[in-house]
Amino acid sequence: MKRKTSHWVLLALALSTVLLLAVCGASGSAAEGSQQKETITGTINRLDTDYLVLITDDGEYQVMDFGENFSVEGFSEGDDVVITYTGTLENEEKPPVITAMEAAQ
Exposed (0-12), middle (13-18) or buried (19+): which is 85, by Cβ within 10 Å?
buried
Nearest to 35 by CA among 79, 76, 86: 86
pLDDT in tens, 47-105: 998 899 999 999 999 999 998 888 899 999 999 999 999 999 988 889 999 999 999 98
Residue closest to 95 by CA, chosen among 67, 55, 56, 58: 67
pLDDT number for residue 29: 47
On whether the pTM is more than 0.75, the answer is no
At 54 the pLDDT is: 97
Most distant CA pair in the chain: distance in Å?
Answer: 78
pLDDT of amino acid 96: 95
In this structure, which CATH number among 2.30.33.40, 3.40.50.300, 2.40.50.140, 1.10.10.10 belongs to the domain 38-103? Answer: 2.40.50.140
The SS3 of residue 25 is helix
Residue 32 or residue 103, greater confidence: 103
